[in-house]
Chain A
Amino acid sequence: MVSEVDTIWGLLRHIADPEIPTISIVDLGIVRSVAIEPRDGVDTVRVVLTPTYSGCPATELITQMVTDALAQRYGNATVEISLSPAWTSDWITKFGRECLAQSAIAPPAATAAVANRHPTMSVLATLSADPATGEDSRPEKCPRCGSGEAHLISQFGSTACKALWMCDTCHEPFDYFKPH
């Protein structure tokens, strides 16, 4: 028996990220919770979203898409934005990472392996010590040819959440979803 909440999750799984249509907002970890709660005596659907990047221009659009999708099925629904806990790329599901790779976007390394620590002198020194290679946060392999050899072109690529790398084997540039 499928619960109503499961049905809503299924609905949200059909909402694709506007920028990367091969991945859903659920697989990106944007949808934090789905619940049906009584409000003023009326059962209300409550969906909580978390924005990925502070300046992500898709946040408003995604919120609207979720609102519209819920409005088609439910008379009473609210969509809320939660800033805490902060979104992390660790919330991208395994399936989501495959979706990214299919769009020739290298999925992010786990943040535990990356310079996302609270800054101390050593972190800032690390950041300035070898910025050209970005050693702490490199893609595992080229999403096109699978080679493990690539170099960083820019920490800010086509969007704020992605860095631009270049494969040393097939010489194609590709986006790398930054661990965050």
Chain B
Amino acid sequence: MEAGMTAVDTAPTAVRIRHLLQLADSPLILGQQLGAYVGSAPILEEEMACANLGLDLLGHATMLLEYAAYLTNNSSDSDAQVTADTLAFTRDARAMYNLLLCERPNSDFAHVMVRHLFYSTWSLLLWTGLSESSDERLAAIAAKAVKEMCYHCSHSAGWVIRLGDGTAESHARTQAAIDELLPYVGEMFLDDARDSQLNELGTAPLPSSLADEWESAVRQTVQQATLAMPALNGNVYMHSGGTEGVHSERLGFILAEMQYLQRSYPGLTW
């Protein structure tokens, strides 16, 4: 029931669908994790906040998956009809393209907030770039997401500062979170042939083009939090593979919980 939107982008449909799935899977998995965190947050207000952070992300994933489904169903080489739901709930780990960062566990509140600071800063920069996309529908989704991610950055940065510049316990836990999660940041800024193709067509910014601004912004927060963060281009080993469908063990457990109902009762609706 979408008002007609024509995409002027000329990338092959398969490339566009693959790109949309990759854009959708990170907020989908992170949204699922934030939902799973409800019941474990340190205070009631953060229970609600994390649920709403997750809700925003699920909204982004939904719009992107609906677009991917639309392209799939309208392409000449498709037999079965897919929906946003089938894309979210029946793809196995090898066909999911989320960042590894989004799979990292909800170890403690410091981890949840540092993960969110890292993710939302990247996401804000990415959505800003995508709001200039030559693909009109993608640009429209991005224009909305940009406004929402501003508040995600505000919320997570605020907590990282309070936790870092807090008690000895919160400071130690937040520093540990930064040290453990930083190796998953490099993946955000990797370019591949598809990224170059989409960038040339004006569909999406190059992932690597977001790195400098990300580092400046996050470093500012980290410093204000009296915490330390090594340079991205330093000697930090960076994990990768998530965007190619090669995931950690964690995703298996996340999907088992997220997809259980649809896999047990395919096509169930209520």
Contacts and interface: CB of A to CB of B under 8 A. Distances in A.
A134 B49 CA distance: 16
B158 A178 contact: no
B220 A124 contact: yes
Interface string A88-108: 100000000000000000000
Contact of A80 (B3, B63, B121, B128): B3
A83 B155 contact: no
Nearest to B132: A118
Given A125-B220, A128-B221, A160 B2 contact: no
A54 B2 contact: no
B147 A86 contact: yes
A164 B148 contact: no
Given A119-B124, A157-B48, A54 B53 contact: no
A21 interface: no
B143 A116 contact: no
B11 interface: no
A146 interface: no
Interface in A99-138: 115-116, 118-119, 121, 123-125, 127-129, 131-132, 134
Interface in A142-180: 153-160, 163-164, 178, 180
B80 interface: no
A83 B59 contact: no
Say what secondary structure dominates the interface of chain B. helix
B161 interface: yes
Given A80-B1, A85-B143, A131-B161, A154 B48 contact: yes
Nearest to B50: A156
A82 interface: yes
What interface size band does chain A fall in?
A: 35 or more
Interface string B50-88: 101101111110110000000000000000000000000
B260 to A, nearest CB: 21
A87 B147 CA distance: 10
A127 B153 contact: yes
A124 B56 contact: no
B48 A131 contact: no
Contact of B144 (A83, A132, A178): A83
A39 to B, nearest CB: 13
B157 A128 contact: yes
B261 interface: no
A61 interface: no
B3 A82 contact: yes
Interface of B: 1-3, 5, 45-46, 48-50, 52-53, 55-60, 62-63, 121, 124-125, 128, 131, 136-137, 139-141, 143-148, 150-151, 153-155, 157-158, 161-162, 213, 216-217, 220-221, 224
25 contacts: A54-B56, A54-B59, A54-B60, A54-B145, A56-B59, A57-B55, A81-B2, A81-B3, A83-B2, A83-B3, A83-B143, A83-B144, A84-B139, A84-B143, A86-B147, A119-B128, A119-B213, A124-B124, A127-B154, A128-B224, A129-B224, A134-B154, A154-B46, A157-B49, A180-B147
Top 3 A-B residue pairs of the complex, sorted by shortest distance between their CB atoms = A55-B59, A131-B158, A54-B59
Interface of A: 48, 51, 53-57, 63, 78-88, 115-116, 118-119, 121, 123-125, 127-129, 131-132, 134, 153-160, 163-164, 178, 180
